């Protein structure tokens, strides 16, 4: 998993090198937006790994669904930061508008993401569990 995260961070460098040329900025000015874009996957990858391990251990479907739902909270926050922070940093949007938009997006997206992933994961985990108990193999 560590190698995958390193590979992901290296792949993220390409678009930022291009953005640096377009915006005529230095590497120091791009460090913050680069980290804002790179962090969501770096946050989510270990969570996915941990939830898969929990599934292999036989955690109940409801508890597993709660874990998947809660894992979207840091992902939702990190993705919103990845959008609004560089926009404000590169002066593509007003800082006050970026803050207000960030708050509004978080108020709506986090509960929607949680509920959506909770019910999807509950259905999938329940079907996998019933498939294991019934003898049929669902994928």
> What does the pLDDT read at residue 133?
55
Q: How many domains does the chain have?
A: 1
| 139 occurs within a structural domain | no
What value does the mean pLDDT take over residues 124-134? 73
> What does the pLDDT read at residue 89?
84
pLDDT tens for each residue of 35-62: 887 788 877 888 888 998 988 898 888 9
What value does the mean pLDDT take over residues 70-99? 88
| 138 occurs within a structural domain | no
Residues ≥6 apart with Cβ < 8 Å to 114 = 69, 70, 72, 73
Domain range enclosing 13: 2-132
> What does the pLDDT read at residue 66?
93
- Categorize the per-residue pLDDT at 27 as very low, low, confident or very high, splitting at 50, 70 and 90: confident
Residues ≥6 apart with Cβ < 8 Å to 56 = none
């Amino acid at each position: 998993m560590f190698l995958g995260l390193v590979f992901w961070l290296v792949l993220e460098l390409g678009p930022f090198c291009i953005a640096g040329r377009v915006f005529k900025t230095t590497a120091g000015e791009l460090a913050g937006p680069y980290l804002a874009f790179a962090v969501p996957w770096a946050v989510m990858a270990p969570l996915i790994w941990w939830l898969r391990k929990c599934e292999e251990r036989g955690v109940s479907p409801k508890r597993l669904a709660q874990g998947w739902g809660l894992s979207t909270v840091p992902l939702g926050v990190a993705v919103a930061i990845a959008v609004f922070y560089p926009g404000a940093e590169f002066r593509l949007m007003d800082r006050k508008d970026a803050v207000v938009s960030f708050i509004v997006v978080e108020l709506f997206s986090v509960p929607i993401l949680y509920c959506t992933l909770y019910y999807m994961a509950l259905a999938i985990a329940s079907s996998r569990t019933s498939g294991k108990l019934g003898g049929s193999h669902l994928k």
